[in-house]
Amino acid sequence: MQFVDEFRNPDIARRLIDDISRVSHRMADRLGRPVQVMEVCGGHTHTIFRYGLAGMLPSSVEFVHGPGCPVCVLPIGRVDDCVAIAHQPGVILATFGDAARVPGSRYSLLEAKAAGADVRIVYSPLDALQLARANPDREVVFFALGFETTMPSTALTVLQARSEGLHNFSLFCNHITIVPTLRSLLDDGQLLIDGFLGPGHVSVIIGCRPYDFIAEQYRKPMVVAGFEPLDILQSLHMVLVQLDESRAQVQNQYARVVSETGNAYALDAVNKVFELRESFEWRGLGDIPHSGVRMRAPFALFDAEQKFRLPGARAAEPQGCQCGDVLRGRIKPAQCTAFGTTCTPQTPIGALMVSSEGACAAHYQYGRVSLIQDVVATH
Amino acid sequence: MCLGIPGKIIEITDPALLLAIVDVSGVRRQINITCVIDEGMQPADCVGKWVLIHAGFAMARIDEEEARRTLVLMEEIGALQDELASIRNASV
């Protein structure tokens, strides 16, 4: 199968790793430390661990795993609010499956379901809308979360609910947006990131231009990357070449799927329904200005935050949890004292252990695997 | 959640609401194709085409080779099984 060969060719992988080694050694000598490149997207984190890419690289270059897993960064207080909504009489709470497992300060949504709340696991907000149509005497609330990949789906669903006059449907909106968070990380004086691999599927929606400030204002290279192991190696090489030539540009390695301008229809729906919040809390990172969206005033009837009285309490991070340090690139997952002992995928304490796209869960699952063999395993 | 899943559009079920049935690795479900219908395009033009799907909405048209490549990758990282299970098990 030709498509596998092209993106899994071990000769190409070896050549890329040789080129990466050559450039990164030179850069690391100049910097006096390893070159650090952050992969922003949880999907990339997953690929990097699954194929053991970090272990194939020389010590002169390191991946820093970014905050791009929306389930992982959901704050505990918002989970508590969602559990409170789920326990209201007459409510059907519809949620993505992975969001249902996120621990709140006392319960996850799955535990709320076991305690009697009507929690339904759905694949799409369209399923939640269908629940609202089928249950006109119930209030159906969709637990909306995710970056720009899922934002258009909930925006279009709300627009559909409005056109049908389905007023027993609402969103509990926890959507977040990646760009202000990257800016906040770049403003963090302790962060040593030399360049970025940009999120592939978020960029399908927003395009490449929203990242221009990273190159223009912060002088860091950003390469929007695909998800194949060779996509990631090639994108890393593109970042290193930019650094070596003292360039800072936004490049698109994933042009076979991502356009420069994104998806206009999706962005239009998002802009109709959502507006930026002044600030939103991220688990492990704290409050980040303009990093979340809420529903615009004309959609108040579809906004669970307007419909329900929410506890709105902030909850402290669990003791011993160092997710924030991992997210900022200060420590690696295995350096956290809870990692693999009290915090495992079966009993997660920290957010990064909850979803398979979280850096800690991925490290736990694949960290001990040697992977050069894996990459060429299909041959 | 952030990794879209490729599916092939096999039937338009509601041309007004832009709903279509897709085949995702043998699992069929209804999705919304609003975001991949360009001006001058008819919904029927999409039948047989591959799209990248996020939470039940097509977000990009992709070619067949890219679709197959992405499905293989998702299978290898264990994401395909999870995604297909969540499509199959959606409680509606």
- Confidence class for position A368, pLDDT limits 50, 70, 90: low
What average pLDDT score do residues A282-309 get?
A: 94
What pLDDT sits at residue B20?
98
pLDDT at A82 over 50: yes
| ipTM passes above 0.85 | yes
- Which one-letter DSSP state was computed for residue A278? S
Average pLDDT over residues A347-370: 78
Tell whether the model's pLDDT for residue A158 goes beyond 80. Answer: yes
Under-70 pLDDT residues of chain B: 1-2, 91-92
pLDDT of A228 over the 70 cut: yes
From the CA of B42, how many Å to the nearest CA of chain A? Answer: 15
Q: Which two tokens stand for residue A272?
A: 């109709």
The pLDDT assigned to A350 comes to 81
Check pLDDT > 90 for residue A36.
yes
Q: CA-to-CA distance for A128 and A141, rounded, in angstroms?
A: 8
State the pLDDT confidence band at A71, using cuts at 50, 70 and 90. confident
Residue A6 pLDDT class (50, 70, 90 cuts): low
Answer yes or no: are the C-beta atoms of A104 and A315 closer than 8 Å.
yes
Pairing of strands A250-252, A286-289: unpaired
Strands (E), A9-166: 35-41, 61-68, 91-95, 119-121, 139-146
Asked if B2 and A69 come within 8 Å (Cβ–Cβ), the reply is yes
Cross-chain CB nearest to B69 (options A3, A70, A131): A3
Assign A124 to helix, strand or coil. coil
Size of interface A-B (CB pairs under 8 A): 139
Q: What is the pLDDT of residue A376?
A: 39
How confident is the model over A303-335, as pLDDT tens digits? 999 999 888 888 887 778 888 788 777 788 889
User: Mean per-residue pLDDT for A224-246?
Assistant: 96
**Pick from A4, A147, A156: which is nearest to B2 by CB?**
A147
Residues of A numbered 271-310 whose beta carbons fall under 8 angstroms of chain B's beta carbons: which are they?
none
Measured torsion, CA atoms of residues A130, A87, A323, A250, in degrees rounded to the nearest 10: 30
CB of A358 within 8 Å of a chain B CB? The answer is no
Distance CA B61, CA B4 (A): 12
Dist. CA A256–CA B10, nearest whole Å? 23
